[in-house]
Amino acid sequence: MRVLVTGAAGFIGSTTAELLLSNGDEVVAFDSLVTGRFENVPPGATFVEGDCGDVELVRSLGHFDACVHFAARIEPSESMKNPEDFFSNNVASSFRLLDALIKSGVERFIFSSSCAVYGDQIEMPIDETRTTQPQSPYGQSKLMVEDGLRWLVSAGRLRAASMRYFNAAGGTLAHPERHIPEGHLIPIALDAADGHREYLEIFGNDYPTPDGTCIRDYIHVKDLAEAHVLAITALENHRELVLNLGSGVGYSNRQVVETVKKVTQRDFEIRYSGRRSGDPAVAVASNERARVMLDWQPEQSDIEVIVADAWAARQALG
């Protein structure tokens, strides 16, 4: 199979591209390098540098059996400050990419959506039937692409899967988690553990949760990559899929940080500051639908495994 992977110089895209290659697929790794790193692109993939909204460039790459579209700006808090960047990069570029791919006859499209489409939900776990109510331009940008995909599927243009990830984490030796800027708890806590940060800041300790800090669902990037490969196959039998990808278990920020201290055997200071706007108190997935539709199990997503793998990947960097 010939697969276009956008955002393949990023964290999840590079890990998924590597898995596709190891399964014998031909991978074109496409990335603007706006936040990604060329060294993340797995050897064996053909790298193309460019913006996924560049219709002529995408069309020049020819026919793909499938596209896995990871390329996006990803920080909800940044999207509150610069919403126009997120609508331009995440929405407009995605539809230009789709236009180019449809004209080249793509059959299957896997889209990186997010639990941010759900906003603040009261009842846990969250399943895919919940009313969507994004609370940031980032979450809205993901929902806008999902909505557009639904119309494209019903018009018979392609088959599509929207994958709503909860918190991607972990890492592999070849692909550690590093974002620019880094907004994710585990890599930030590892920075504090290895002395690259003076202290760790936790936003809010007055949430209605047992220890007052937010609760999140962490999913290992290896489990995510596996789900994408399975989704490409599942689209042979389904025209449209909308799937949560999470472990189904929630950990508070405080519990995650304690796990980082335990795994790394390093202590560091925690400082609490005010809540960030747009951060729900709790977000935990029901992953039942993905388990059934993909025959998928999140086997690597125990929090200690996630943190240990993230730490090993960090140390391998030197």
Structure tokens at 55: 């219709």
Which residue from 109, 165, 268, 311 is in contact with ligand NAD, where contact means CB under 6 A? 165
Strands (DSSP E) contained in 72-190 are 108-114, 159-165, 167-169
Task: Look up residue 318 and give its two tokens.
Answer: 């030197």
Shorter beta-carbon distance to ligand NAD: residue 53 or 125: 53
The minimum distance between CB 231 and ligand NAD, in angstroms, equals: 14
CB atoms within 10 A of CB 8: 30
The region of 7-15, 226-234, 257-265, 309-317 touching ligand NAD under the rule CB under 6 A is 7-15
Tell the smallest beta-carbon distance from residue 80 to ligand NAD (Å).
15
| Span interacting with ligand NAD, options 10-18, 197-205, 255-263, 304-312, rule CB under 6 A | 10-18
Q: Between 81 and 198, name the residue whose CB sits nearer to ligand NAD.
A: 81
For ligand NAD, the closer of residues 266 and 300 by Cβ is 300
Angstrom distance (rounded) from CA 252 to CA 222: 22
| Closer residue to ligand NAD, CB minimum distance, 49 or 266 | 49
Structure tokens at 276: 């960030």
Based on the shown chain and the rule CB under 6 A, indicate whether residue 114 belongs to the binding site for ligand NAD. yes
19 binds ligand NAD (CB under 6 A): no
Helix (H) or strand (E) holding 221: helix 221-234
- Rounded CA gap, 218 and 64, in Å? 31
Nearer to ligand NAD, 155 or 317 (CB): 317
71 lies in the binding site for ligand NAD (CB under 6 A): yes
| Of 3, 20, 29, 31, the one binding ligand NAD by CB under 6 A | 31
Q: How far is the CB of 168 from ligand NAD (least distance, A)?
A: 3
Q: Kindly tell me the sign of the dihedral angle through the C-alpha atoms of 155, 161, 166, 169.
A: negative
70 binds ligand NAD (CB under 6 A): yes
Confirm or reject binding of residue 284 to ligand NAD (CB under 6 A): no
Reply yes or no: is the peptide bond before residue 42 cis, omega within 30 of 0. Answer: no
Tokens matching residue 253: 């920020």
Contact 285, 246 (CB under 8 A): yes
CB within 8 Å of 291: residues ≥ 6 apart: 297
Contact segment (CB under 6 A) with ligand NAD among 64-72, 150-158, 202-210, 294-302 equals 64-72
Burial (0-12, 13-18, 19+ Cβ within 10 Å), 50? middle
Q: Can you tell me which residue has the tokens 């200690």?
A: 304
Q: Is 139 in the site for ligand NAD (CB under 6 A)?
A: no
**Residue whose CB is less far from ligand NAD, 130 or 155:** 130
Could you tell me the CA-to-CA distances from 264 to 80, 144, 167, 300, 311 in Å, in that order?
34, 40, 21, 18, 7
Q: Would you count residue 27 as binding ligand NAD (CB under 6 A)?
A: no
Q: How far apart are CA 252 and CA 216, in angstroms?
A: 6
* 36 makes contact with ligand NAD (CB under 6 A): yes
- Angstrom CA distances, 88 to 6, 7, 303, stand at 16, 16, 35
146 lies in the site for ligand NAD, by CB under 6 A: no
Q: Evaluate whether 291 touches 220 at the Cβ level (below 8 Å).
A: no
Contacting ligand NAD (CB under 6 A), which of 5, 7, 293, 314? Answer: 7
* Residues identified as active-site: 138
CB of 212 to ligand NAD, least distance (A): 23
Least gap, CB of 159 to ligand NAD (angstroms): 19
Binding site for ligand NAD (CB under 6 A): 6-7, 9-13, 31-36, 51-53, 70-72, 74, 89, 93, 112, 114, 165, 167-168, 179
